[in-house]
Amino acid sequence: MPRLKPTLKTDVIGSLDLNPEKSVGEYRLSRQQERFFVKPPNWDSAGDSIEMLYIANARENDAMVVLQRQLLEEAQHQSELNHQRIAQMYRMQERLRKRFIEVNGFIKDCADKKRTAETIIRQQEAQHDELTKGIDEFKRSISVLNAFRTDLKATVREFEPYERVLDEVVEKSDIFVSPKDCLDRCDALMLAQVEINELENKKLQEIEEMRLRMVKITNEAALTVLGLKNDLAKLERSYNQSRALGLRWETTLSLCKDTISNNDLDKDRALDGLQILYRMLCKRRDLDAHFNRRDVEKTVDFIKREIELLNLVLRELEKSSTKGSKSAPQDGALCGAQL
């Protein structure tokens, strides 16, 4: 089998490998693959010519035409069978539909009958329960009546002597007309006794309520008196506190009045002193006193100017080295005395 793997080197003589030591391994690899393997045709093979390809295609075409005709016949036969089956299925479906309608109607009838039967059964059961309860009640009533009949007979036998005594009392007495009249009067007395007892209980209850109300009123009055006493004590404490506060304020006001009167007296004295000093200064300078007592600022300003002037004169006199006549020192002494 020739090896078609390309060699690594081409010689002048032929195809040679570049590495001959790898040729064995490459040969084995080429034997294991079929991609590059070309099987040579036999010696008597005509080969793949155009005529042979045409003949093969013609044969294949004839075979395909025959197969197509067979398939077409089978398809037509199958179509006829399908139409028959469809018609049969339609007939079967119609028959099944009718059967279904019949069965469905039968089922509905059965369901209606079942519901009707269940309703009747429930009604019968309820009626049976009611009748059973009525029978039990009647049995209990009969047993109660039997017991009452037995007790009544025993009571009649027990009170029969009393009945005879009552008849004798009615016969011998002129008050009672008949035993029934006697029993009615006894019943009336018993009812009157019951009413008397009820009235007594009612009056006792009213008396108890009155007692409780009196106790409540007494307690409320005691609480009211106690509250009034507490209020009186509070008022007394408030009066004492107010009195002490009034005395304290009275003392304070008296002190204030004394202080005010003293301040007014000092003020009047100061004003009188200022006015006297002002008049003395005016008299000294042979001026008229134009400012009254209320013109304090003007009076004080005038006195200030005069005193400053006198102080200036005094300093000038002290600075002078010459002494004048005796009248000048006397005038200075007089000014100092007036100041």
Residues 6+ apart with CB under 8 A from 79: none
pLDDT band at residue 17, thresholds of 50, 70 and 90?
low
Identify the pLDDT of residue 308: 87
- CB–CB of 290/278 below 8 Å? no
- Percent of the chain residues topping a pLDDT of 90: 33
Max CA separation in the chain (angstroms): 196
Distance of CA 238 to the CA centre of its chain: 51
Distance of CA 250 to the CA centre of its chain: 64
Of residues 52 and 248, more confidence is placed in 248
Q: Which two tokens stand for residue 248?
A: 């304290």
Identify the pLDDT of residue 336: 46
For the chain, give the mean pLDDT: 81
